[in-house]
Structure 1
Amino acid sequence: MIGSHVAVGGGLVKVGLAEADEVGAEIIQLFAGNPRSWAPRAADPAADEAFRAACAERALPVVVHAPHLINLGAPSELVLSRSLAALELTLQRASDLGATAVVVHAGSSVTPGRRTTALAALPGLISPLVDRADPAVRLLIEPTAGAGESMASTIGSTIEYLGAVDDERVGLCLDTCHLHAAGEDLADPQLIDGLASAIELIHVNDSRDPRGSHRDRHESLDVGTIGLPTLAAFLAHPALVDVPVLVETPTHVRDVALLKNLRATRKVACSKYSA
């Protein structure tokens, strides 16, 4: 399936699903609250139920993106406790909304030299959260662009991260802009071989910056420094045939249409999730 991130400020159905319809999305991603605040959004069970019903009517799968402030590698006990609480709430909100997955950034160890310690702590942080969560909601780790003390950005560091988590209930969401920014060559046909079985979602974004920049700035498809031919080569990997894709670009309608055309001509994407 091919879809996009949608805004929901102003109403899950009135705004979020209206945008999904405009884009022609077959799957959507949304924030269940303010992505840059620890404060949770006030609960509205009636709105949640209306959204679930409308998505079921459309057979539209939903993914929830966790707040950007969450950092499971933080050395600060305050930040770590807030991160765990926010992620647990996001998993609960995903269940409330009938979502299939929650995407959370891999995080940063912040201080040089702390990555090994931070990785070792991951099982004790993540597994208890997943134990308490709705088993119908998958937790997907998203590697970042490699700035600072990123815990997962390259393919190698992501393999180490998932190995540290060591929980089959936790999967992977790859972002093409992030991989490019981290220095990976998306045209390499063997790039994702070591991660293929873990990939459950892909954010397909072009990049405003050159490869290896460590800058997370999304661009419209075939406008940035990655280009559509390279993105097409990446998506043509046999392991990605059944993986849903989402765009987080400035031009959702255009870019969803581009990917649908790519699917029709190259058969690179179809749905792994069902509503």
Structure 2
Amino acid sequence: MLKIGCHLSCAKGYLSMAETALSINANTFQFFTRNPRGGKAKPISEKDMSDFLAFCSEHGISSVLAHAPYTLNPCAKDEGLRIFARDIMADDLRIMDRIPGGMYNFHPGSHVQQGAEIGIGMIQNHLNTILTPELKTRVLLETMSGKGSEVGRNFQEIRAIIDGVDLNEKLGVCLDTCHLWEGGYDIVNHLDDVLDEFDEVIGLERLCAIHLNDSKNPMCAHKDRHECIGFGHIGLEALVAVINNPRLKHLPFYLETPQDDLDGYAREIAMLRNFYAE
């Protein structure tokens, strides 16, 4: 069965997110634990969390993915911003450890003209400070499009981060199809070659999730502009090939397409389910 969902708001609580997911025929979803620009997380209601976990178990909703706030930058020049990133992520992981099988995805950060090598070292230090042997949540590094001074613009930079983390068994990777395409990986014409390279550099055993997005831009644009499925430069045929690829089809897929409302996500989910080969 295709494991697919979209990004939902947690403003009304965890149970509400799960109910919304079910209403659009999703069996997973992604969410922010707090405002995407940072700040305090909403206090968790014990009843809401308990009801949420029971609802997910009853309706087969799993592989819930939390996304770190966009403002987190573990390799910022400013030490205060690095401390902010550390404290927010540590708090988020405490929340996520309450959700069995949950994962936590983050953008590695921007080195801000310090150079990728320095940025990678800061991200390694960030993760070495936060990750603990007791942590149950898998922390995912997201592949980036190479905009500005982003770290994680290619598989080699992701691998370099992983290699410098002591508890790197806690780490995985989330592939973003738009980011891959705009970063220069031709997933339209050479998907299997891209996966071969990923396996050689990082290892497919670390691939835990996929952000399924079309792109407003041609390959190598390095701009990170998501588009609705089938309306961009990647196209429907190539994205259907992604969900049906034997090395990918067992993974959870999360839509981050620029929809105006939930009906748009419901249509995309229905369409992709129709094209999925069981």
Q: Same fold (TM over 0.5)?
A: yes
Task: Kindly report which structure 2 residues correspond to 1:150-229, keeping only aligned pairs within 5 A, or say none.
Answer: 150-165=150-165, 167-187=168-188, 188=190, 189-195=192-198, 196-229=204-237
- Quote the offset at 1:116 in angstroms: 0.6
* Among candidates 87, 90, 93, match of residue 92 of structure 2: 90
1:253 pairs with 2:263? no
Residues 73 and 110, structure 2, Cα contact 8 Å, conserved in 1 = yes
What TM-score does the superposition give when structure 2 sets the normalisation length? 0.86
- Residue 7 of structure 1 contacts residue 19 of structure 1 at CA under 8 Å; is this kept in 2? no
2:57 matched to 1:45?
Answer: no
CA apart distance, 1:132: 6.1
Cross-structure match for 1:105: 107
Q: Deviations over 1:51-79 (max 9, x none)?
A: 22222222211211111111122121000
The residue type equivalent to 1:115 in the other structure is A
What is the one-letter code of the residue matched to 1:134? L
- C-alpha distance in structure 1 between counterparts of 2:267 and 2:154, whole Å: 29
What is the DSSP-based 3-state SS (H/G/I as helix, E as strand, rest coil) of the residue aligned with 1:238? Answer: coil
For residue 239 of structure 1, give the secondary structure of its aligned residue in structure 2.
Answer: coil
1:273 maps to: none
Q: Equivalent residue of 1:194, what SS?
A: helix
Quote how far apart the aligned CAs of 1:229 are.
1.3
Identity %: 28
Aligned equivalents of 2:149 and 2:234: distance in 1?
24
Matches within 5 A, 1:54-69: 54-61=55-62, 62-69=64-71
How far off its partner does 1:133 sit? Answer: 5.4
Whichever residue aligns with residue 233 of structure 2, its letter is T
User: What runs of 5+ residues in structure 1 fail to find an aligned partner?
Assistant: 268-275
The RMSD of aligned alpha carbons is: 2.0
Please list every run of 5 or more consecutive structure 2 residues that lacks an aligned counterpart in the other structure: 199-203
Q: Give distance in 1, aligned partners of 2:45 and 2:133.
A: 22
TM-score (norm: length of structure 1) = 0.87
Residue 83 of structure 2: SS of its match in structure 1? helix
1:270 alignment counterpart: none
Q: How far did 1:44 drift?
A: 2.6
Aligned residue type for 1:144? M
After superposing the two structures, state which structure 1 stretch, 81-90 or 213-222, moved more: 213-222
Letter in 1 for 2:163: G
